[in-house]
Amino acid sequence: MTEPRDGEPPTGLDLTTAEWGMWQAFRNGSTHDLRTPYPERNDPTGPHTWGPERSVRARVVALLLLDGPPAQPGRVCALKLNGVHVTGTLDLSGGTVVPYVEMHNCRFEQQILLPESRFTTLRLVGCALPRLEAARLTTEGDLHLPRCVIPSGIRLTDAHIGSDLLLNQLMVRRDRRGLSIAADGMTVGQDLQAEMMRSDGELSMRGAKIGASLSLRGSSLNNPFGRRAFNAPQLTVERTLYLTAAGVSGSPFAGATPPYGITNTPEHGTRLQSFECQGGVRLDDGRFGDAVDLSQARFVMEADQELSLRRVQTPELRFLGERQQRGRVVLSGARVANLVDRADSWPGPGGLVMAGFFYEHLIPLGHFPLARRLEWVAAATPEYAPEPYERLAGALRASGEDADARAVLLAKQRRRRETLPLAGKAWGYLQDWTVAYGYRPGRAAVWMAVLWALGTVYFTWRPVAPLKEGEGPDWSPVLYTLDLLLPVIDLGQGNFWKPTGAAQWVVTALILLGWVLATTVAAGASRLLRRQ
């Protein structure tokens, strides 16, 4: 084979008609379109055979990309293909591809190998390829794979995408290791859009970093072969993670750029497709700059699977999906500023774990009364734990709902009472019935008034004899009873009278009950002043 002259292919390469057209289109930057007038024959995943008139060899494509001819005067080299069948294995491993690459509706006979290669921008739109092997791939611009069908998985481990990664309406199935997309350690400079995607296998993004938002709106993640459908511990997203519904418009070309037919803010009457995940989700130790949005999400899990948000940190968690019937939601150690939720989104008893879950503000959507909120805490604590109650009370107090906060702390004491021995339970019931554990000081004041009235009536009918005749103040059953009930304060009545018989027991009972009730009133007043 001799060196080419003036942009001609090397001697001995023997280009076919389809390859010669691709060669010339590459030099002038135009699209080499080999589609037929019959749309059903242009589907790269369809049953129709694409003959030699639509086929090019992978080695010719690689030659153009790695060591292609110069551009025609006034043009820029670019590989733009539409409806082309690429035979053989396209291997660009370790290579540097300078020309712009965009392929639409192409069919690849074998996998594409791009490990440790470098691109400016790579766009494969609506293509069918067995597998994409692109570990440690680097692109200065975008990597687009919308509407592609990839039956044996994608590998993007440690890849570096300079701007956007687009996977909208992608259909990808698992590889031999059970992974649909292996993207551990991947870095994306801006957005990762994987809306309306279908993934059969495990989507793995351990330690990945996304420079803007990660959107899985309307996608379906399904992994019946393993424990998790989405495995992304230590994921970092600078803005928002969207596991939400997507609005689907009627036109397949609703926007000028992908995603095709997807709207982020659906108009009235637009059909919605929910995000659905069949299998566990692991987002442990994730960092999200704006929010984690689970609006209209649907999680279908087995009993041993989890939606795990352990130690997640984000300014806002929008827990607004459908209630799952099995599996658990785990929020242990997570820290959020705003918890936006609905009463019917949370799982029932045994399906929620919130040990160490910290949130500052509650923003319920719809009717979420305090009784349902207490059921929410109880569902997360099959065994009594004070922390969830104290955290809820703190959030309510921060919102100015002091009465509800005290009701939560009262519920905490009642829940704790069930863990005490019989004597402790009896004392707890007495405290609850009389003074509501001190969280309703008004009740203690009422009991003080009742005891004062009863003592006054008793001592009116049975006056107490003076300690010394002719000394002390005039007898007053009202002041004498009040002096017995009020600790610390001396009204000058108790030291001048000598109770005997049954009156001694009445006096002793009033003094003891006065100490208990007065202390309770003082503690309640202190809580009001300190807003606790």
CATH number at residue 512: 1.10.287
* CA separation, residue 115 to residues 68, 158, 160, 503 (Å): 20, 10, 11, 96
**What are the strands, taking DSSP E only, across 421-531?**
465-466, 497-498
Rounded Cα distance, 513 and 336, in Å: 45
CB 127 within 8 A of CB 106: yes
Predicted local confidence at residue 471, as pLDDT: 64
**Is 58 inside a domain boundary?**
yes
Rounded Cα distance, 297 and 277, in Å: 8
Q: Return the structure tokens found at 313.
A: 């940190």
Predicted local confidence at residue 260, as pLDDT: 45
Predicted local confidence at residue 422, as pLDDT: 83
* CA separation, residue 60 to residues 8, 68, 112, 420 (Å): 13, 9, 14, 80
In the chain, the number of structural domains is 2
Query: Residue ranges of the alpha helices (H) in 174-246?
Result: none
Q: Return the structure tokens found at 333.
A: 């150690």
Residue ending a domain, among 87, 113, 130, is 130
**Is 113 inside a domain boundary?**
yes
* CA separation, residue 204 to residues 84, 140, 232 (Å): 31, 23, 6
Q: Is 53 helix (H, G, I), strand (E, B) or coil?
A: helix
Rounded Cα distance, 140 and 152, in Å: 26
**Is 112 inside a domain boundary?**
yes
The one-character DSSP state at 494 is G
Rounded Cα distance, 78 and 529, in Å: 74
Kindly give the interhelix angle for 58-67 and 17-28, rounded to the nearest 10 degrees. Answer: 20
**Is 351 inside a domain boundary?**
no
The DSSP result for 332-391, as a single string, is TT-EEEEEEE-GGGS--TTSEE-TT-EEEEEEE-S---HHHHHHHHHHH-SS--HHHHHH
Residue ending a domain, among 103, 130, 157, is 130
Q: Return the structure tokens found at 212.
A: 């803007």
Kindly give the interhelix angle for 422-435 and 402-417, rounded to the nearest 10 degrees. Answer: 150
**Is 488 inside a domain boundary?**
yes
Predicted local confidence at residue 529, as pLDDT: 53
**Is 230 inside a domain boundary?**
no
What's the N-to-C CA distance of the chain in angstroms?
Answer: 87
Q: How many CA atoms lie within 13 A of 522 on its CB side?
A: 9
CB 463 within 8 A of CB 472: no
Predicted local confidence at residue 59, as pLDDT: 95
pLDDT in tens, the chain (532 residues): 445 556 788 877 889 999 999 999 999 999 999 999 999 999 999 999 999 999 999 999 999 999 999 999 999 999 999 999 999 999 999 999 999 999 999 999 999 999 999 999 999 999 999 999 999 999 999 999 999 999 999 999 999 999 999 999 999 999 999 999 999 999 999 999 999 999 999 999 999 999 999 999 999 999 988 899 999 999 999 999 999 999 876 544 333 344 444 445 555 556 789 999 999 999 999 999 999 999 999 999 999 999 999 999 999 999 999 998 899 999 999 999 999 999 999 998 889 999 899 999 999 998 889 989 998 998 888 888 888 888 988 888 888 888 888 888 878 887 887 777 887 777 666 666 666 666 666 667 777 788 778 878 877 877 776 666 656 666 777 777 777 777 766 665 666 666 767 777 877 787 787 777 766 666 555 655 554 4
Rounded Cα distance, 393 and 398, in Å: 9
Rounded Cα distance, 329 and 331, in Å: 7
**Is 95 inside a domain boundary?**
yes
Long-range own/partner contacts, residues 328-337 (CB < 8 A, 24 or more apart): 328/352, 328/353, 329/353, 330/306, 331/357, 332/356, 332/357, 333/357, 334/309, 334/310, 334/358, 335/311, 335/359, 336/312, 336/360, 337/361
Q: How many CA atoms lie within 13 A of 491 on its CB side?
A: 17
Residue ending a domain, among 130, 153, 181, is 130
* CA separation, residue 157 to residues 184, 204, 358, 437 (Å): 5, 9, 33, 58
The one-character DSSP state at 68 is P
**Is 508 inside a domain boundary?**
yes
Side chain identity at 404, as an amino acid letter?
D
Rounded Cα distance, 389 and 366, in Å: 22
Question: In the beta sheet, which residues pair with residue 485?
Answer: none
Note down the domain range covering 467: 438-530
CB 215 within 8 A of CB 237: no
